């Protein structure tokens, strides 16, 4: 018997779907990108789905249910934006164990509804069932885009610029902070739940609110797409950073048949994240490359668009696309060349 961990999440998906053949003419893109793409007329319909499992993707000892609902919706919106589309509808399916009350699920839904209101998305259906293993959340999101506007992962070209929005590793450092304080909380027997707003932890979280927000309540970068469109820039390849920059870059390079070169001193790193990493004896560059859950947009675009990119706020050029034989590398501050590895989150690791 072959253990699933041998393949990992993406390897397992590739293994299970390698022989799939599409029989519907409306199916334009299936497994292998941020969204599936269907042709139903003048616009393309985008579809993505995401499942969150208690104990794997979230810990309710420190994640408020309202924040969890908001995040569960937003990470799906982010996938639609990563295809240069606009999210329009979601369905929500829940597996609920007996320990949850109606009020708990209302809190979860209040977060989902808030996300829908802020991003102009309709909640149009779903399903609920009982669960023996805690809380499970499965959200499917639909979106739309003109055929000419859709950006896939496989369009990166030689000498394209590599760009990323926001900053990297901050959500991961928020998670490390929460996990550290949870250990302290348990050892001092304060109770069953840790909350960043409770008096006993206020000092530990003071001045680190941004790190917590990036982990507990991320935002999809709709604003970056709007800025790119206004500037007249269409990315050649794009993903959102959910599993870590290294992992996402390797996906783009593999599917585009290219290599890449990114520079350590160009990586956007938040000061608070760097300070906490030093305090916790972590390498912030490693965190930025592999942390995940930043939900920033990573994309490539023509070098001819350089002047158009410079004025866009919160957007950073971190490298360029190379020939495939050069591989995928990080150039350190002293000029050393380090091969990129996909070391982000893997749900099937032992």
Domain boundaries defined on the chain: 4-149, 161-339
Burial category of 130 from C-beta neighbours within 10 Å (exposed 0-12, middle 13-18, buried 19 and up): exposed
The dihedral sign for the CA sequence 199, 178, 97, 35: positive
86 strand-pairing partners: 144
Q: What is the pTM of this model?
A: 0.87
Say if CB 259 and CB 323 are below 8 A apart: yes
CATH number of 4-149: 3.30.1330.10
Q: How far is CA 334 from CA 35, 91, 93, 278, 338, in A?
A: 39, 49, 50, 20, 11
With a pLDDT cut of 90, the percent of the chain lying above it is 75
**pLDDT band (50, 70, 90) for residue 37:** confident
Residue 262 has pLDDT above 50, yes or no: yes
Mean pLDDT of 251-269: 97
User: What's the CATH architecture for 161-339?
Assistant: Alpha-Beta Complex (3.90)
User: CA 43 to CA 36: how far, in whole Å?
Assistant: 14
**pLDDT band (50, 70, 90) for residue 199:** very low
């Amino acid at each position: 018997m072959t253990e699933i961990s041998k393949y990992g999440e993406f390897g397992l998906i590739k293994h299970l779907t390698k022989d799939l053949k599409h029989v519907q003419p409306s199916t334009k893109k299936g497994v292998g990108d941020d969204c599936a793409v269907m042709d139903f007329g003048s616009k393309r319909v985008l579809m993505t789905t995401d499942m969150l499992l208690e104990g794997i993707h979230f810990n309710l000892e420190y994640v408020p249910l309202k924040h969890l609902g908001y995040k569960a919706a937003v990470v799906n919106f982010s996938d639609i934006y990563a295809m240069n589309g606009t999210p329009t509808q979601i369905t929500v399916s829940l597996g609920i164990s007996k320990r949850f009350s109606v009020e708990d699920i209302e809190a979860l839904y209040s977060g989902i509804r808030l996300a829908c209101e802020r991003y102009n998305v309709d909640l149009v259906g779903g399903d609920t069932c009982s669960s023996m293993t805690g809380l499970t959340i499965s959200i499917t999101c639909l979106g739309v885009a003109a055929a000419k506007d859709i950006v896939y992962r496989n369009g990166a070209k030689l000498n394209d610029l590599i760009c990323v929005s926001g900053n990297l590793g901050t959500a991961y450092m928020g998670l490390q902070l929460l996990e550290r304080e949870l250990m302290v909380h348990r050892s001092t027997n304060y109770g069953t739940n840790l909350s960043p707003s409770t008096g006993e932890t206020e000092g530990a979280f003071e001045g680190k609110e941004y790190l917590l927000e990036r982990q507990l309540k991320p935002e999809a970068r709709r604003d970056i797409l709007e800025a790119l469109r206004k500037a007249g820039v269409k990315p050649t390849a794009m993903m959102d950073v959910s599993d870590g920059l290294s992992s996402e870059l390797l996906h783009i390079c593999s599917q585009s048949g290219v290599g890449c070169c990114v520079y350590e001193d160009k990586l956007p790193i938040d000061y608070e994240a760097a300070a906490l990493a030093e305090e916790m004896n972590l390498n912030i560059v490693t965190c930025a490359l592999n942390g995940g859950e930043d939900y920033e947009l990573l994309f490539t675009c023509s070098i001819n668009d350089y002047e158009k990119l410079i004025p866009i706020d919160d957007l950073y050029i971190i490298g360029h696309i190379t020939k495939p034989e050069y591989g995928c590398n990080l150039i350190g501050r002293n000029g050393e060349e380090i091969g990129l590895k996909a070391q982000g989150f893997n749900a099937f690791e032992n």
